[in-house]
Amino acid sequence: MNKFYITTPIYYVNARPHIGHAYTTIACDTVARRERMLGVDTYFLTGTDEHGQKIERAAQAAGKSPQQLTDEVSAEFRKLWDRMGLTYDDFIRTTEDRHKKSVQQLFRTIRDNGFIYKGTYTGQYCVYDELYVDATEPGAPCPECGRPTETVHEENYFFKLSAFQDKLLHLYTEQPDFIRPETRRNEVMSFVRSGLRDLSVSRSTFSWGIPVPDDPRHVIYVWLDALANYITALGYGRDDDKLFHKYWPADVQMIGKEIVRFHCVYWPAFLMAAGIALPRGIVAHGWLLFEENKMSKSRGNIVRAETILDVLGTDALRYFLLREIVFGQDGSFSFDALVQRYNSDLANGLGNLASRTLTMITRYFGGAVPTPAAVDGTIADTARKVIQEFGAAFDQFQFSRALEGAWGLVAAVDRYIVENAPWALDEKKDEPSRARLGTVLYTSAEALRIVTALAHPVIPEATARIWAQLGLGEIRKFALSGLKWGELQPGTRLGKVEPVFPRADKSAIERMQKMEEQERTAPAAEAKPVAGPKVITAPAAAAPDGKITIDDFAKVELRVGQVKVAERVPKADKLLRLEVDLGTEVRQVVAGIAESYAPETLVGRKVVIVANLAPRKLRGLESNGMIVAASPEGGKAILAGFLEDVPVGTRLK
Ligand code: MSP
């Protein structure tokens, strides 16, 4: 069938977008662009995941209503995708009416088919991962993120996941490409083989979600709500379901490896229960690491895409992510590596090949592609091989291998130009040299055309410009399926030749680092409470005797946190690096308490954190908050604590 439907996960709106989110979306955009160039009717979906307790609490912490927070953050994702020129066909938000209607229809269908029943759930729940956990002890750590789970006791609706164990195993065996790569498939198979318990698919302890049909005291479990986006965006369960009939099932559903279980176990089971066709394949990639850890808001180690776009442009980010990281595996981001790749492959590689080839054609042939006197076999053969291998690698999502091959052609043409020295041929001014000059420059330009066409889905902006400089018009109209050696027509008049990738100097690295540093240390925009007793509109009146008013005190956000990780900071005798759970997020805090406490005695301990302190760096580590301690004169610091048990995240006031 000549259609292709590709989806990204929908992103949580409790965090602003960073290049980890951009990574998946760029990979999907690249695949979608290639499919379109191959003439396939393509539909590309992305969006935001906006319900659930995590979002509700994040909104609370920011002093906003959930709708206000979701509107703001969702718009940021969309704005960034648009700035990067991502070619999504639809952007779904789970708070939209169209989605809610379809999700309720899906719930009803599964219930009518006998796979949803009412029962009682008592157990542990991880709010951060929105995940029911098999542990029995209150506060047991979540197996995914290590944060303490919360005990929930609810009358809930349950999904008969246990009824799908054999069907799922059959699916993984019959359709080996359902989960890629192989390592993820093996993990999922062993998880399912170990037995599946029924899954709670409603919650009644909070309300930020889609009401269960006919029982609005419950909201639908956020993962059932979120996964459904892939069909609700197409109109499933509504009158306007044309797109659903046209594009479903999805051809590729791309995700990060941490959400494999939801997509490869729950999602197909929900679909089977509703009698809906299954996606053709779920493709999981690895994590983008920064400073050796998964880039994430809770670790405070994110890099924003905007910084890279401002300094190097979209193509640089796209090329780096797809060339540097072996898709499926974890890969590290660093500004050094980004600039190095940019200079070596884009500025000195493709950019330089384009400008020298086109400049020589302008100079020696008046700006018209010369007629080759012969076919220069080696380059033509390399190009043919590259076209074939590029497609094969791309079909396997091996972007870095595909690009490596194409850039092998760039290097081969560079050598070819040096060996044939067109400038020397031009100087000879004899017929055979002139004929040879035509062959060399035609060959170079034709190889440039081929790399440009292949690379277009990855670096769309620069390739569109090179294509126009080659005198070929609009690249998006080019049919990639017809790409073959020798199609460049002699006599084609070149467009205006201009450099596409200016070299980046060392200051680019510093500039980007500084921009990110500033972003991290800038005080967060003041939260504007939407409800509550008092909105501060004017500076609080100063109280006499150097005393502060209650409004001044209210500016300090003190919260109960729980230490998850504590370790010494190398070469700093007084400092400990802590990861402190605040209920809605885990913060890194660097504290000068190493002389008072051994790190291992702190793990699990509840502490008081100044949560709205502007971040600062200590020994190169970002400290995101301050731990409260008594500091006796000349003595050691003593941490503030509680005699009674207090829930994590509680505000002190
Ligand atoms: N809302 C769920 C997904 C629901 S899909 C029905 C969710 N959202 S998320 O905001 O946490 O984003 C998850 C996705 O963002 C990951 O699966 C991955 O695609 C991308 N990434 C976020 N951080 C990333 C890295 N550090 N590295 C690579 N990808 C990352 O889970």
- The residues, any chain, with a CB within 8 Å of residue 1's CB and separated by 6 or more, are none
For residue 349, what is the DSSP state?
Answer: I
- Residue 547 is predicted with a pLDDT of 73
| Ligand 1 geometric centre to CA of 21 (Å) | 6
- Residue 523 is predicted with a pLDDT of 57
Cα(438)–Cα(370) distance, integer angstroms: 5
Please choose, from the candidates 375, 409, 413, the residue with its C-alpha nearest in 3D space to the C-alpha of residue 390.
Answer: 409
Please choose, from the candidates 650, 590, 9, the residue with its C-alpha nearest in 3D space to the C-alpha of residue 300.
Answer: 590
Ligand 1 interacting residues, C-beta cut-off 6 A: 9-12, 20-21, 23-24, 49, 226-227, 229, 255-256, 259, 287-288, 294-296
- Residue 540 is predicted with a pLDDT of 35
| Ligand 1 geometric centre to CA of 27 (Å) | 13
| Ligand 1 geometric centre to CA of 329 (Å) | 15
Cα(548)–Cα(528) distance, integer angstroms: 21
pLDDT in tens, 404-433: 999 999 999 999 999 999 999 999 999 999
| Ligand 1 geometric centre to CA of 647 (Å) | 28
Count of C-beta atoms within a 10 Å radius of residue 581: 24
Q: Which atom of ligand 1 approaches the CA of 24 most closely? A: 19
- The residues, any chain, with a CB within 8 Å of residue 396's CB and separated by 6 or more, are none
Q: Give yes or no for residue 520 having a pLDDT over 90.
A: no
- Residue 359 is predicted with a pLDDT of 97
* pLDDT band, very low/low/confident/very high, at 304 (cuts 50, 70, 90): very high
* pLDDT band, very low/low/confident/very high, at 248 (cuts 50, 70, 90): very high
Q: Which atom of ligand 1 approaches the CA of 267 most closely? A: 6
Whether the upstream peptide bond of residue 213 has omega within 30° of 0, thus cis, is no
Q: What sign does the CA torsion over 178, 179, 183, 187 have?
A: negative
* pLDDT band, very low/low/confident/very high, at 437 (cuts 50, 70, 90): very high
* pLDDT band, very low/low/confident/very high, at 621 (cuts 50, 70, 90): confident
Looking only at the bridges linking them, the beta strands covering 629-630 and 638-639 are antiparallel
Report how far apart, in Å, the C-alpha atoms of 392 and of each of 54, 285, 385, 395, 405 are. 41, 18, 11, 5, 11
> Ligand 1, atom 15: nearest CA belongs to which residue?
21
Mutate which of 129, 259, 304, 332 for ligand 1? The one with the most ligand atoms within 8 Å of its CB, which is 259
- Residue 524 is predicted with a pLDDT of 53
Percent of the chain at pLDDT > 90 equals: 75
Cα(18)–Cα(304) distance, integer angstroms: 5
Contact indicator for 422, 360 with CB cutoff of 8 Å: yes
pLDDT in tens, 527-568: 333 333 322 223 334 444 667 777 678 778 899 999 998 999
DSSP 39-64: T-EEEEEEEEE--SHHHHHHHHHTTS
What tokens were used for 405? 């091959």
What tokens were used for 540? 């609080």
Q: What sign does the CA torsion over 24, 27, 29, 31 have?
A: negative
Q: Which atom of ligand 1 approaches the CA of 256 most closely? A: 17
Q: Give yes or no for residue 187 having a pLDDT over 80.
A: yes
pLDDT in tens, 252-261: 999 999 999 9
- Residue 351 is predicted with a pLDDT of 98
Average pLDDT, the chain: 92
Cα(298)–Cα(217) distance, integer angstroms: 32
Q: What is the mean pLDDT of residues 124-147?
A: 86
- The residues, any chain, with a CB within 8 Å of residue 144's CB and separated by 6 or more, are 126, 129, 131, 258
| Ligand 1 geometric centre to CA of 631 (Å) | 42
- Residue 531 is predicted with a pLDDT of 37
- Residue 545 is predicted with a pLDDT of 64
Q: What is the mean pLDDT of residues 354-360?
A: 98
Count of C-beta atoms within a 10 Å radius of residue 528: 11
| Ligand 1 geometric centre to CA of 116 (Å) | 28
> Ligand 1, atom 13: nearest CA belongs to which residue?
11
**Picking from 7-16, 96-105, 633-642, which range would have the lowest pLDDT averaged per residue?**
633-642
- Residue 297 is predicted with a pLDDT of 85
**Picking from 224-233, 255-264, 603-612, which range would have the lowest pLDDT averaged per residue?**
603-612
Q: Which tops the pLDDT comparison, 139 or 268? A: 268
Q: Give yes or no for residue 151 having a pLDDT over 70.
A: yes
| Ligand 1 geometric centre to CA of 299 (Å) | 14
Look up the pTM and report it: 0.81
Cα(304)–Cα(512) distance, integer angstroms: 10
Q: What is the mean pLDDT of residues 211-239?
A: 97
- Residue 583 is predicted with a pLDDT of 85
